[in-house]
Amino acid sequence: VSLWGNKCDLSISAGQENSQKTSPIDSLNSLQAFVLVDDSDRVWSALNSPQRHAGPEKPAGARVDIVLDNAGFELVTDLILADFLVSSGLAHQVHLHGKCFPWFVSDVTANDFQWTIRQTMAANHRWMSKSGAQWQKYVKEGVWCYHDHPFWTQPHEFCDMAADAPDLYAALQEADLVLFKGDLNYRKLTGDRDWDHTVDFSTALRGFEPAPLCSLRTLKANVQVGLQPGQGQKLTTQDPNWMTSGKHAVIQFHSPKAE
Q: What pLDDT, on the 0 to 100 scale, is given for residue 257?
A: 81
pTM for the full predicted model: 0.91
Question: What value does the mean pLDDT take over residues 248-258?
Answer: 93
pLDDT digits (tens, 9 = 90+) for 117-148: 999 999 999 999 999 999 999 999 999 999 99
Q: What pLDDT, on the 0 to 100 scale, is given for residue 49?
A: 86
Closest alpha carbon to 227 in 255, 250, 254: 250
Name residues whose C-beta falls within 8 Å of residue 8's C-beta, 6 or more positions apart in sequence: 18, 19, 20, 70, 72, 73, 74
Helix, strand counts (H, E) of the chain: 11, 7
Tell me which amino acid residue 92 is.
Answer: H
Kindly report which listed range (52-61, 76-85, 196-205, 242-251) carries the lowest average pLDDT score. Answer: 52-61
Tell whether the model's pLDDT for residue 58 goes beyond 90. no
Q: In the chain, what are the domains?
A: 4-8+35-50+61-254 (3.40.50.10880)
Closest alpha carbon to 216 in 70, 113, 19, 91: 70
Tell me whether strands 213-218 and 249-254 are parallel, antiparallel or unpaired: antiparallel
Q: What pLDDT, on the 0 to 100 scale, is given for residue 171?
A: 99
Number of other CB atoms surrounding residue 16 within 10 Å:
7
Q: What pLDDT, on the 0 to 100 scale, is given for residue 14?
A: 47
Secondary structure class of 247 (helix, strand, coil): coil
